[in-house]
Chain A
Amino acid sequence: MNFDKDTNRMEDALKNALRRREAPEGFADRVLTRLAERSSATPMVLRHQPWLRLFAQPLVSWAAAAAVCAALVVGGIHYRNVQREHAEGEAAKQQLVLALRIAGSKLQLAKTRVQQVNANHTPADQTENQEEKE
């Protein structure tokens, strides 16, 4: 047989070689048995809520698990950011209170000094002024 020259013969040989084969005896029954096993193994809630069957598919269940994980990670990061901002706000508030206290005490000190100076200088000055007039 010369296959180099006869493409049609080669194609015929392939068609013969790759002819359909009968499925093994009882194939359809075994499919139905597996189908029955599968449907009995399906939880009642999935049978009554068809949309939940989506999650029984591996791709969808993986996607759902990935979405939950992503949501947890994003939520965790967001919570951490909020906590950090809160802590920074608290620290700033404490610093402001401290600064106000320091400023308040300085003002108090200055006021006391001014009052002391006024108390010491006022009577002598008045006497000196009266003497100059006379």
Chain B
Amino acid sequence: MPEPISAEKSTVVAESDFTEIVRRHQAMVYSIALHFLADPAAAEELAQDVFLQLHANLGRLKSGDHMKFWLRKVTGHRCIDFRRRRSLPQVSLDEAPESAAPTQTEDPMLSRRLRQLVASLPEKPRLIVILRYQEDMNAEDIAEVLAMPVATVKSHLQRSLAMLREKVTRAIGEVAI
């Protein structure tokens, strides 16, 4: 059932409503940008731009699900545009606080290495991996957000996973030595 939104159908949204919308989705938008750009300052700037664009388009969004779909799509496209326009220095992703406590099974060094490897993937596969594992989206939903065939999404995922597996295995071997 679609998640309802309060004042989105009106072109004028109360400030409190919009603040609530920003608070509800800021972690999602900021995290996609952060994992893609690997630069907290750039990620925040991009996430702010996404919400400003959202404010201008609120009247066109029909439901909460539509808004979430729109935010993921616009954030993804803006990430790719941002990366193409600017050559960003790679900054550690670990500067940003995590939204939840790390799970007991998490290996911080492995997570850090994986984030670095994901940030080094080509643009489209990187975005696909982020949407798959950060947002827990399936290939069909990712294909819809990125407007590409499902088979292409699956192929990017398989190749990216294989590459990440190979590199992380090598890196862990090096750490062990």
Contact = CB atoms under 8 A, between A and B. Distances in A.
Interface in A12-37: 12-24, 27-28, 30-32, 34-35
A75 B29 CA distance: 48
Contact of B97 (A10, A18, A22, A30): A22
B87 interface: no
Given A3-B168, A13-B114, A16-B106, A21 B18 contact: no
A21 B110 contact: no
Contacts of B55: 35
A20 B47 contact: no
A116 interface: no
A31 to B, nearest CB: 5
B7 interface: no
A11 interface: yes
A126 interface: no
Interface in A49-101: 50
Contact of B26 (A2, A16, A19, A27): A27
A75 B111 CA distance: 63
A99 B130 CA distance: 85
Nearest to A57: B56
A28 B112 CA distance: 27
B31 interface: yes
A20 B134 contact: yes
B103 A23 contact: no
**Chain B: number of interface residues, binned into ranges:** 35 or more
A130 interface: no
**Interface of B, helix, strand, loop or mixed by DSSP:** helix
Nearest to A33: B48
B165 A3 contact: yes
**Chain A: number of interface residues, binned into ranges:** 20 to 34
A32 B165 contact: no
Contacts of A22: 27, 30, 96-99
Contacts of A16: 102-103, 105-106, 111
Interface of A: 1-4, 7, 10-24, 27-28, 30-32, 34-35, 38, 50
23 contacts: A1-B172, A7-B165, A13-B107, A14-B118, A14-B129, A15-B136, A16-B111, A17-B114, A17-B115, A18-B134, A19-B31, A19-B98, A20-B28, A20-B31, A21-B96, A22-B98, A22-B99, A27-B22, A27-B30, A28-B23, A32-B18, A35-B52, A35-B55
Interface of B: 11, 15, 18-19, 22-23, 26-31, 34-35, 40, 44, 47-48, 51-52, 55, 96-100, 102-103, 105-107, 110-112, 114-115, 118, 129-130, 133-134, 136, 161, 164-165, 168-169, 172
